[in-house]
């Protein structure tokens, strides 16, 4: 099992460019998440998908869109990149998004390091 995979690993964009970050999991998990991690800020939730066919905003959704393509894949799109979106982006998945002990553990992908100039 590869677990959670993310592409690309690194990306440099110019202000105003768009791009899509890809995430896939092979653990048959229902729930998937996108976080960003900035120095001193911890992990902050951008969007999440509790189950296939549903998506909801997290703490910092502005400037991002998501698509839950199927049960395995959850993509994050930056429509018009800004320097404030320079960050490390992590995708995570869990069997459920809460309410059942032990099934709400999140597993993380390797991350995408994005720089917006």
Partner 1 sequence: QKEVEQNSGPLSVPEGAIASLNCTYSDRVSQSFFWYRQYSGKSPELIMSIYSNGDKEDGRFTAQLNKASQYVSLLIRDSQPSDSATYLCAVTSGTYKYIFGTGTRLKVLA
**Of residues 64, 77, 70, the one with CA closest to residue 24:** 70
* Nearest-approach distance from CB 105 to partner 1, in angstroms: 5
Instruction: Give whichever of 37 and 67 is closer to partner 1, judged by the CB atom.
Output: 37
Residue 104 touches partner 1, criterion: CB under 8 A? yes
| Binding track over 23-52 against partner 1, x by CB under 8 A | --------x-x------xxxxxx--x-x--
Q: Give the integer Cα–Cα distance in Å for 94 and 20.
A: 22
Which residues fall within 8 angstroms of residue 15, CB to CB, at 6 or more apart? 81, 82, 83, 116, 117
Which stretches of the chain bind partner 1, using CB under 8 A? Answer: 31, 33, 40-45, 48, 50, 56, 58, 90, 97-99, 101-102, 104-111
């Amino acid at each position: 099992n590869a677990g959670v995979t993310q592409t690309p690993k690194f990306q440099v964009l110019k202000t105003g460019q768009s791009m899509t970050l890809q995430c896939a999991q092979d653990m048959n998990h229902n729930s998937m998440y996108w976080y960003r991690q900035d120095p001193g800020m911890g992990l902050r939730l951008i969007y999440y998908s509790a189950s296939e066919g549903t998506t909801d905003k997290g703490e910092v959704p502005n400037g991002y869109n998501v698509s839950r393509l199927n049960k395995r894949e959850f993509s994050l799109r930056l429509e018009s990149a800004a320097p404030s979106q320079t960050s490390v982006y992590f995708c995570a998945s869990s069997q459920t998004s809460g309410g059942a002990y032990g099934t709400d553990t999140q597993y993380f992908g390797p991350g995408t390091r994005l720089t917006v100039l």
